[in-house]
Amino acid sequence: MTLEHVVTESKPSRLIYKTEVIIFPNAKDVDVYSGNLINQQIYNKPDSKLTLATGSSPIGAYQEMIREYKAGLDMSKLLTTNLDQYCYIPKNHPLSYERFMNENLFNFVNIPPDRRFIPNSEASDPDIEAVRYEQILTDTGQADLVILGIGPKLTGHIAFNGPGSSVDSRTRVICLDEDTIEANSRFCCDDKNQVPCLAISQGIANILEGRKIILIAKGAGKAEGIRSALEGPIGTHMPASLLRYHPDTTFILDSEAASLLGK
């Protein structure tokens, strides 16, 4: 029987997933490439909506944004939402992601304060705050570009969505797992007891709704997470693996983060 002779009653549907992986020899190249990609997005669509991550991974890309802003790139029409924020800490607490964003990006570019959204860490009821934030995400529409890091190596979670989260999870209050608390204590005198254990986080569904996603990972500490995200089983045990369902995701890696791929 040849292909022409195959008659089916139902119309097949075909899903094509494309995860692009770009590997650079060193971390600086990752920063420059990721930053250029974000800047290009802003040049192409000045009123882009960006989803932003905190942490060490995107800092170099944010520096490229600042450099380009100083060279003339206008960011006054951008709209940004952050992935997550701790609960029950002042906005200017050393661990606050609002503070992080101010110190690493917002203080140096002209994104208007009323177009920058971060969950309110001072909310007295984080569950209500999560609902309010989800409404903002809905009202402001689809993100044009989502910028992600990847978390501690064993769970490799993105945006704190550790085991137990589901594919359709949206903004909610989550308990940070031990890996994340441990990793984040480096910003808090290495004292795990000072790291808040609750955060408000966008969910996997919010992330996957973005038009384009980039995931930035550098260093050998990310190698195991990157391998299971790209080569392991797809599932909520490893939320970053769900990015393989997304039609336009690019992993931007240095050679250390990519060192376990294909092994």
Site string for ligand F6R, 74-93 (x = CB under 6 A): ---------xx---------
Is residue 74 helix, strand or coil?
coil
Q: What is the torsional sign of CA 70, 72, 73, 75?
A: positive
Q: What beta strand segments (E) does the chain contain? A: 19-24, 49-52, 79-82, 84-86, 116-117, 145-148, 172-175, 198-201, 212-217, 249-254
Identify residues 21-60 at the interface with ligand F6R (CB under 6 A): 53-57
> Which one of 143, 147, 158, 174 is in contact with ligand F6R (CB under 6 A)?
158
Q: Are strands 145-148 and 172-175 parallel, antiparallel or unpaired?
A: unpaired
Residue number with CB closer to ligand F6R (73 or 249): 249
Taking the complex as a whole, how short is the minimal distance between the CB of residue 84 and ligand F6R, in angstroms? 5
The answer to whether 119 contacts ligand F6R (rule: CB under 6 A) is no
Distance, CA of 217 to CA of 158 (rounded, Å): 11
Nearest approach in angstroms of CB 200 to ligand F6R is: 11
| 151 contributes a contact to ligand F6R by CB under 6 A | yes
What is the b/e burial string over 198-214, where b = at least 16 CB atoms within 10 angstroms of the residue's CB?
ebbbbbbebbbbbebbb
Contact stretch for ligand F6R (CB under 6 A) within 11-19, 63-71, 121-129, 143-151: 143-151
Binding segment for ligand F6R (CB under 6 A), chosen from 8-16, 39-47, 155-163, 234-242, is 155-163
Instruction: Tell me the closest approach of the beta carbon of residue 10 to ligand F6R, in angstroms.
Output: 41
Tell me the closest approach of the beta carbon of residue 56 to ligand F6R, in angstroms: 4
Using alpha carbons, select from 177, 148, 175, 176 the residue that is nearest to residue 241: 148
Contact 152, 179 (CB under 8 A): yes
- Identify the residue among 119, 126, 149, 225 touching ligand F6R (CB under 6 A): 149
Cα 260 to Cα 212: distance, rounded to the nearest angstrom: 25
Q: Which residues bind ligand F6R (CB under 6 A)?
A: 53-57, 83-84, 149-151, 158-160
